[in-house]
Amino acid sequence: MGREAAAPRDLRARSVLAGSASAAAAEVEAALAPTDATAAAFFDVDNTLMQGASIYHLARGLHERDLFTTRQIVSAAWQQTWFRVAGSEDPDHVAQARASALAFIAGHRATELEQIVEDVFDEHMAHRIWPGTRALAQQHLDHGQRVWLVTAAPVEIARVVASRLGLTGALGTVAEQRDGVYTGRLVGEMLHGESKAEAVRELARTEGLDLARCSAYSDSANDLPMLSLVGQPCAINPDRRLRRHARAHGWLVRDYRTGRKLAGTGVKVALVGAAGGATYRVVRDLVRSNQGRDGS
């Protein structure tokens, strides 16, 4: 019984640590001084701002530079997809998701990864930005409010996306570094679920934000803790659970997908629908084009 009682407390502690680390690592563009200093907007990235999953696009870039094998991509893609779709807090699933995330960056220098992310944004991410979501972010900027990305992806990815889109800054999963090299360990947990809410709370405290005047946007019910913090939550391209919750609570819903049907069950639907068809196609195409290249 003692071990069972300790698990939720340990998870809570890791969530708080991850949120605090992410808020502390946030970088603000000095030139983007807000005129409405107490209001801000928080945007999830994957399938909210960008079609597909940003970490998969990074994996593709690493693969093209011979820094990642096809087998590693397929394994990591499955773990990340399951974590995102199921939103599981099972310790084994969380550990597997963390391990697959760290496999992308362990042993690489931070400066090396930053340059790769810059290139990968141009090659694989820029054309996948949803115009509708980008317009919403710009509206907040035009009203003098700060706009932050909040994502489970490594903060290095989030910073590049925020910078390229002219946003205020980014909150993301913080990976431990030693002498400028990633150790393969996280600071706390992945920035997921309650950890995102903790990061937003901490940022609001340090930046003097009134959360009742803030907005948040996400596609996933996993982000309900963050969405429920603010006065103006909005579901973007929502999964079925989030759509139901949003309608029940009178939240705004925006869907920028075309020809998409959110019906059916099973792994195929989870991969193509909830996790994003673009993610599935990236992995599929890599497998087809690289069979035999690296022993996969």
Domains contained in the chain, number = 1
The answer as to whether 12 is a domain residue is no
pLDDT at 162: 94
Is residue 151 in a domain?
Answer: yes
H-assigned helices in the chain:
2-25, 54-64, 70-86, 91-103, 110-120, 131-142, 155-164, 194-207, 224-227, 240-249, 267-269, 277-290
Report how far residue 175's alpha carbon sits from residue 44's, in angstroms, rounded to the nearest whole number.
19
Q: Is the residue at 28 inside a domain?
A: no
Q: Is residue 240 part of a domain?
A: yes
* Residue 30: inside a domain: no
> CB–CB of 296/70 below 8 Å?
yes
**Could you tell me if residue 23 is inside a domain?**
no
Domain ranges, residue 178: 38-290
Q: pLDDT tens, 97-106?
A: 555 656 667 7
Residue 250: is it exposed, middle or buried by C-beta count within 10 angstroms (0-12/13-18/19+)? exposed
Over the stretch 188-219, which tens digit does the pLDDT of each residue have? 777 888 989 999 999 999 999 999 999 999 99
Give the pTM. 0.74
C-beta separation of 176 from 185 below 8 A:
yes
pLDDT per residue over 62-90, tens digit each? Answer: 778 877 666 666 665 655 555 555 544 44
Report the percentage of the chain scoring pLDDT > 90.
41
Q: Is position 215 within any domain?
A: yes
CATH of the domain at 267: 3.40.50.1000
Q: Contact at 8 Å (CB) between 150 and 110?
A: no
> Is 144 contained in some domain?
yes
Catalytic site positions: 44, 46
